[in-house]
Structure 1
Amino acid sequence: MADFLWVIYLGFMGATAVWFLIKGKYKNNITRLDFLISIITWLGLFGFVTETEMFVPSVWKMVFIIGLLWDVLFTIFFADRFAGDFGFEEEEDPMPLVARLIGLITIAPLYYGIFQYAF
C-alpha cells in the first residue's frame, strides 16, 4: 500500500510540473530555475520510489540540501512576487507567511524520499 501511495505522489508531482510547463507558466529566470530544481528533485524521488540507483548518494545529498533550501526560500520570498506568472489572480494583500509555510507541507514527502534515497 505504501508503494502505491508513493507512486501516486510521484505522478502528482510530475504531472503538476509538466502541466505548468505546457501552460507556459515559466516565464522568467526565477520560475525557470524553480522548474529545473523541481525536475531534479522529482528524479531523486523517482529513484527512491522505484529503487533505481542514479548517480552516487553524495549527489542526492547535495540535491536534498539545495532543493530544500530553494523551496523554502522561493516559497517565503519569491512566490508572492511571481504569483502572476503562474496564472493566479493578484490579491490586494499578499498571502500570509503562515499560509505559505503550510503550503510547504505538500512537498515534505518529496524531501523525505530524497533524504531516504541520499542517506
Structure 2
Amino acid sequence: MAYFFWLMYLGFMGTTAIWFLIKGKYKNNVTRLDFVISIITWFGLFGYVTDTQMLTPIVWKIVFVFSLLWDVIFTIFFAERFAGDFGLEEEEESMPLAAKLSGLIFVMPLYYGIYQYAF
C-alpha cells in the first residue's frame, strides 16, 4: 500500500512540473533553475520508489543537500517575488515567514525519499 502512495506522489510531482513547463511558467533564470532542480530531485525520488540505482550515492547526497538548501532559499526569498510567474495571486502584504515555510511541508516526502536513496 505504501508503494502505491509513493507512486501517486511521484506522479503528482512529475505531472505538476511538466504542467508548469507546458504552460510556460518558467519565464526567468531563477524559475528555470528551480525547474531543473525539481527534475533532478524527481529522478532521485523515482530511483528510491522503484529501487533503481541511478548514479552513485555520493551524487544523491550532494543533490539532497543542495536541493534542500535551494528549496528553503527559493521559498523564503524568491517564491513571493515570482508568484505572478506561476499564476498565483500576489498579495499587497508580505507573507509571514511561517506561512512560507509551511509550503515546504508538501515537499517533505520528496526529501525523505532522496535521503533514503542517498544514505
TM-score normalised per structure 2:
0.98
1:4 aligns with 2:4: yes
Letter in 2 for 1:117: Y
Letter in 1 for 2:22: I
**What is the rounded CA distance, in whole Å, between the counterparts of 1:100 and 1:77 in structure 2?**
9
Q: CA deviation at 1:94?
A: 1.9
1:67 aligns with 2:77: no
Alignment RMSD: 0.6
> 1:52 maps to which residue?
52
- For the residue of structure 2 that corresponds to 1:81, the secondary structure is coil
> 1:97 maps to which residue?
97
CA displacement 1:85-114 (0-9 Å, x = unmatched):
111122111222111111100000000000
CA displacement 1:30-62 (0-9 Å, x = unmatched):
000000000000000000000000000000000
Structure 2, unaligned runs of 5 or more: none
> 2:22 maps to which residue?
22
Which 4+ stretches in 1 moved above 2 angstroms? none
- For the residue of structure 1 that corresponds to 2:21, the secondary structure is helix
**What is the rounded CA distance, in whole Å, between the counterparts of 1:34 and 1:92 in structure 2?**
24
TM-score normalised per structure 1:
0.98
**What is the rounded CA distance, in whole Å, between the counterparts of 1:89 and 1:51 in structure 2?**
39
Letter in 2 for 1:14: G
- For the residue of structure 1 that corresponds to 2:73, the secondary structure is helix
- For the residue of structure 2 that corresponds to 1:90, the secondary structure is coil
